[in-house]
A = this chain, B = another copy of it.
Amino acid sequence: MKLTFQDYISIKIHKTDLNLTRFVKAKLEPFNLAPEQNLIMMLLWEKDGLSQNQLVETLNKDKTNIARMAASLEKKGFIKRYNCDKDRRSVRLYLTDTGRNLGNEVIPIAEEFDAIVCNGISKEELKQMEKILRKMNQNVEKLL
């Protein structure tokens, strides 16, 4: 087959991901919010009181990552963690007032970021790209 380094689509995706993350990291820095922490906040702004396990499934990350990010967000005062009454194993995350207010500032920045990333790319092209990404995920997931 003889592929060279530049041929691998996975490497191109990886580099792009790092570039986008670096960019959004700088955008969020003034708010004392790291990129992945922001993903948790975005989900909580949509629906408060999610459990860590729900975040594990939505974000498709290891539970240890979620636990540590949640601990960090609590330390920063953006959320509070409470044990669920119905299931004592489960930990639910609730926004503090500070955390809720943060959304008013950060959500516009996230949307502006998306607009910058998608600049000059048509809706059709985006749909196409999403389809291919889905296919790639399926390709590896069925073998995991």
Could you list which residues of chain A lie within 8 angstroms of chain B, going by C-beta atoms?
A: 1, 3-5, 7-24, 26, 39, 42-43, 46, 58-61, 110-111, 113-121, 125-126, 128-130, 132-133, 135-137, 139-141, 143-144
Closest to A133 in B: B16
User: How many copies of this kind of chain does the complex include?
Assistant: 2
A73: shortest Cβ distance to chain B, in Å? 16
Q: How far is the CA of A24 from the CA of B77 in the complex (A)?
A: 37
| A17 & B19 in contact (Cβ 8 Å cutoff) | no
Whether the Cβ atoms of B136 and A121 lie closer than 8 Å is yes
| B-chain residues with CB within 8 Å of residue A130 when the two chains form the complex | 9, 12
Contact B140 A121 (CB under 8 A): no
Chain B residue with Cβ nearest A116:
B139
A116 adjacent to B137 (CB under 8 Å): no
Contact A141 B19 (CB under 8 A): yes
Asked if A143 meets B125 with Cβ closer than 8 Å, knowing A12-B133, A19-B137, A130-B12, the reply is: no
